[in-house]
Amino acid sequence: MSMSEPLLTQIVNQHIPADATVVTIDKPVQHPAIYASDLTGDGMPEIAAIYEQGGELMLLVLKFYQGHWIKMSLTKGLGYGVTLLTAASVTSTARNNLIVGWQIGAIWSKLSVYDWTETGLTDLAPEDLYYSHAEIIDMPGPHGRDGKVEIALWIHDTGEAYRVEIIRWQNGRWVPATDVYPYYFPKVVKYYEQLAEQHPDYTFYWYYLSDAQYKAGLFTAALVSVQKALSFNAPYPSREALLELEKKIRQAMGTEGHARETTWLFPISVRTTTGTRWGYMDAQGRIRLEPIFDDARDFQQNGLAVVVKDGKTGIINLSGQFVVQPVYDSINSFAEGRAIVIDSQGFKMIDEQGNVLTKRAYPFIADVKDGRALFYLSDISQPGGEVSRYGYLDTAGNEVIRAQFASANDFQEGKAVVQIKENEYALINRSGQRLATYPYAYVGSLGDGLLPFQKETSGKYGYIDESGHVRIQPSFTSAFPFNGGYAIVNTAEDYNSIYGVINTQGTFTIQPGYNDIRDLGEHRLALGQAIDPKQSFMGSVYAIADVSGRRLSDFVYTDVSNYKGGLASATNGTQTFFLDLNGRPASGYPRVEGSGTLEWVAPDLIKAYVDQRVSYVNRAGQIIWRQNTIVTLHPPYRVREEKYKPNPDYLVYYPQLEGLTDQAVQLAVNAKLKALSQVKPIPANQKLDYTYTGDFYITFYQQQLLQLKLTGYNYPAGAAHGMPTMIYAIINLSSGQMYELKDLFKPNSDYVKVLSKIVGDQIKNDPQYSYVFPDTYEGISPDQPFFVTADALHLYFSPYEIAPYVAGFPTFTIPFAHIKDIINTEGSFWKAFHT
């Protein structure tokens, strides 16, 4: 049963006294104190309403019975107004509890949580449960959401400071919900970061910031904040309380640090004769899980890591045991205790034990956010062809909101923006109920109570509030959601970039004039100045600023990552380092040669992903681990990795052979490998209009035959995508000969005709090649690109040659057994790996 607000109001007015008035709740937007929800667990919604009569508040509950609405309960209220009326699963997932905030003061409310019993409504909340602001959310703990809500109470202290408590109903009583602190308290941290920045001399904001950081698990940042609070002459709440908090933070840092130093593992890469393999080391750089994986990601907080083995993806624990066998094409990282996997059937959702929760496979499922995962289904019954309809899954894999929307966004704090149809959007809650409808061409995601919108498809962007009222008139060519009281907007015409920052009143705090602006978190922004103002697509160089517009650094950084715990990783094109909140390189931290990112992963361990290589250093800059640069074959042969980076935009790793008997032959082979790897003169001090990266892999090594795959990626500035290249160098280690395709076959065997027919038959008869452009394949060339494995020849084509770009390098496998009649088994190529 779905009921609109006017219908609910009409029903309630028929059941209250003539001299009574339904109470109005003022925030977040004005609305009547009426709410419909299933309070009894029978699957049918009851209507709860609060009205005022003769200076008293009354809570009325109506039930639909035998075709009529009847009064089920009438309870006397408290105070003089209502700040909150909602329903959620507090005591049980089988039914909802009615939650009321009775206003008893200007900034104070009394919380009531009603449970339906045989005798009527019973208030489970203590008599002294007062608050200033409340949020009711099913918050994820270490194992995701449990279907019951937690209640976050913001309790006013002094100034704009609030003590935040999170409680839940458990085993018949209210208890602190400490396990969800890491989910909720980052929001509290952002609140106090802003206040501490605005009022750096107010000691109580530093105390509450430190407390929030501690509860959010940001121990390093919490220690800095509590020491700042202790630096005041009259610290708040007291020196003793702050010293006790500092002790807790240090204990937590020690516990976490010891756990990570002794049990946590970190991914490492090793070059081998079978390609690059991944394993895991401990914090001291000792290998704990052997490098046997094709790929390995970081361990998550749940102690699980996604790995790839033999081309398939699975999940291991810290002991290296597979919790989820490697049977999937891909697996996303866990979010709220759930991971999205893809196999031949489509997208599915699994839990941390690997159990598939969804009842079917989907064309798409997004990661879980705020207890909901966006999915879509394809509807082929619509006029004009296939149409995608979006809905939401819960963490049990159930379709709690059916596929019905033309487009949809992730949930955030219990709300999501969806598109109903052309020129109609809506704001819904986690049950799918419409909270507001917007008759506009576009509406973006909610932030700080505002949503970016377009009135017409080709029109400018502005901002509306949740009720749909225009708060900032359309005047921008693009607009991002608000975050922390500010939003990034673009004012340029003709698809150019002139970015600025506005506050919630629409006033510019940073005037438009930047090629790019990035929100780095912790109230810091990266302001991008065009490297070449005449060609803005060439990229930007960045300065750090605060959200008020105060610039903290010069335009010297080529890339900056988000701040975390007061530090952000940055690079100037030649070195990578940490920045402090003042936008300067942080003292006491290492600088790593090359471009990339740094990340704290343990108390004295920093992960560096620099120049496309993973390494680990300690705070002093000493190397704990880096990938090997020499691969030993059978003596005396070795493959040595060399690096060529003449320009920040040009990076190549290329192979060089060692141990060949004839040094002149070795020099010639290595010169050719350099040339094939695109090692060539590049200007050093000039911004290129493209970026180029190259690498190599040992893909086959048997007896005297060594096969190297040389890859490249050329990305023109401003292009939609780059162009990959792939060349195989197949070398006889004894002679130094580099083989071509013809060397595998008997002279005069007409191998081109034979192989062309086999490939043509595969395109015609094998469904996996249905992506090949019709009538484009005309046979292979005499020097067709190829590679070999132990039992087969593989022929491949470049992107766009016979298929779309997304098909990559279309490859056709031909077992040697199928072409044995034309293989020259007495030739040096064949004998190099068949002696």
> For residue 381, what pLDDT band results from cuts at 50, 70 and 90?
low
Q: What is the pLDDT of residue 258?
A: 52
Residue 1 has pLDDT above 60, yes or no: no
CA–CA gap between residue 707 and residue 29 (Å, rounded): 67
Residue type, 19: D
Q: What is the DSSP letter of 213?
A: H
Q: What is the pLDDT of residue 652?
A: 98
What is the spatial distance between Cα 68 and Cα 529, in angstroms, rounded to a whole number? 67
Spatial distance between the Cα atoms of 149 and 90, rounded to a whole number of angstroms: 5
Kindly state the average pLDDT of the residues 345-369.
96
- Tell me how crowded residue 255 is: count the other CB atoms within 10 A of its CB: 11
pLDDT band at 687 (very low <50, low <70, confident <90, very high): confident
| Per-residue model confidence (pLDDT) at position 717 | 87
Percent of all residues in the chain with a pLDDT value above 90, rounded to a whole number: 76
Residue 37 has pLDDT above 90, yes or no: no
pTM beyond cutoff 0.75: no
Strands (E), 659-791: 690-702, 705-716, 723-732, 786-788
pLDDT at 2 over 70: no
Mean predicted confidence (pLDDT) in 685-694: 92
pLDDT > 70 fraction of the chain, expressed in percent and rounded: 98
d(CA 707, CA 699): 6
Cα–Cα nearest to 433, from 112, 48, 87, 93: 87
Q: What is the mean pLDDT of residues 393-410?
A: 95
Domain extents for the chain? 5-253, 265-328, 332-420, 515-627, 630-832
pLDDT tens for each residue of 187-231: 899 899 989 988 989 999 999 999 999 998 888 888 888 989 998
Specify the pLDDT at position 383.
63
Per-residue pLDDT band for 256 (boundaries 50, 70, 90) equals low
Q: What was the pLDDT predicted at 223? A: 87
The pLDDT value given to residue 515:
95
416 exposure class (CB count in 10 Å sphere: 0-12, 13-18, 19+): buried
Structure confidence at residue 382 (pLDDT): 63
Express each pLDDT in 713-725 by its tens digit.
999 988 889 999 9
pLDDT digits (tens, 9 = 90+) for 543-567: 999 988 899 999 999 999 999 888 9
Digit-coded pLDDT (tens) for 60-92: 999 988 888 999 999 999 999 999 999 989 998
Q: Residues 132, 449, 186, 334: is their CA dihedral positive or negative?
A: positive
φ, ψ (nearest 5 deg) of residue 157: -115, -75
pLDDT, average across residues 396-404: 95
> Could you tell me the pLDDT band of residue 379, with boundaries at 50, 70 and 90?
confident
- The pLDDT of residue 572 is 94
Using an 8 Å Cβ cutoff, are 375 and 348 in contact?
no
Q: Which band of pLDDT confidence, cut at 50, 70 and 90, is reported for residue 5?
A: confident
Domain 630-832, classified CATH 3.30.565.40, yes or no:
yes
- Report strand pairing: 690-702 vs 650-658: parallel
Task: Give, in order, the Cα–Cα distances in Å from 285 to each of 145, 268, 495, 614.
Answer: 36, 9, 49, 13
pLDDT digits (tens, 9 = 90+) for 112-170: 999 988 888 899 999 889 999 999 988 888 777 788 899 999 999 999 999 999 999 98
Question: Would you say 293 and 278 are in contact if contact means Cβ atoms under 8 Å apart?
Answer: yes
Tell me the pLDDT tens digit for each residue of 562-584: 998 889 999 999 999 999 999 99
Write out pLDDT tens, residues 739-757. 999 999 999 899 999 999 9
- Return the structure tokens found at 514: 């930047």
What is the arithmetic mean of pLDDT over 1-5?
60
Q: Which CB contacts under 8 angstroms, 24+ apart, belong to 772-777? A: 772/802, 772/803, 772/807, 772/810, 773/802, 773/803, 773/804, 776/801, 776/802, 776/803, 777/802
The per-residue pLDDT for range 296-333, each reduced to its tens digit, is 999 998 889 999 999 999 999 988 999 999 999 999 99
Q: Mean pLDDT of all residues in the chain?
A: 92
